[in-house]
Chain A
Amino acid sequence: AQSVTQPDIHITVSEGASLELRCNYSYGATPYLFWYVQSPGQGLQLLLKYFSGDTLVQGIKGFEAEFKRSQSSFNLRKPSVHWSDAAEYFCAPSSNTGKLIFGQGTTLQVKP
């Protein structure tokens, strides 16, 4: 069965520190991979996506993610976190039918 795991439910980092949010997926083939962010009371905004090609993808707001086929991972990174990055982050592989399968989400708290 297709599944996605975000092992970290809650992460707290200091402003200016680096960030890595983990995502592991289980799929028959390489899926399309997405990271979405949800700020409190808001909808879901796409941060970045991976389809094929270069395994390091750049997104909005200074985020990047690296696809590692051998580890079935698609971890999200940011070199320096800003207070406005506090939100919930969802990793979501997409099946070839197009539906997104969301992980449990990681809540990011940023300390001043």
Chain B
Amino acid sequence: EPEVTQTPSHQVTQMGQEVILRCVPISNHLYFYWYRQILGQKVEFLVSFYNNEISEKSEIFDDQFSVERPDGSNFTLKIRSTKLEDSAMYFCASRKGLAGTEQFFGPGTRLTVL
């Protein structure tokens, strides 16, 4: 069964460093998402991506964040200069079609900023 994959599973970085979180969505999906979950808190929407551009972003997704689909398979989230409060689990998700169809989630990348 096709699944969303994410690498790395755990990333440790120093404050101020750039990190890139990688996701491989399901191959015939068209809509891509990043969410994050700070420890003990709810899952929060960051950004959605369709047709090679951002379709929606939350107020969390400021200038320090960017997303890219550099080729036909990868979907990346870059944090330019990490802060302590960026420590969280980051989930990638993808869906095939119209709103209301299921989003499939990856296993997440745990980002720890020291």
Contact = CB atoms under 8 A, between A and B. Distances in A.
Interface of A: 32, 34, 36, 42-46, 49, 51, 90, 92, 94-105
Interface in B32-59: 33, 35, 41-45, 48, 55-56
Interface string B7-49: 0000000000000000000000001010100000111110010
B46 to A, nearest CB: 9
B44 A97 contact: no
A100 B35 contact: yes
Chain B interface size band reads 20 to 34
Contacts of A34: 102-103
B72 interface: no
Given A97-B48, A102-B42, A105-B42, 13 more contacts: A34-B103, A44-B43, A44-B93, A45-B105, A49-B100, A90-B42, A94-B99, A96-B99, A97-B56, A98-B31, A98-B55, A98-B100, A103-B42
Contacts of B106: 43
A32 B103 contact: no
Nearest to A32: B100
Main secondary structure of the interface of A (DSSP, over half): loop
Contacts of B105: 36, 43-45
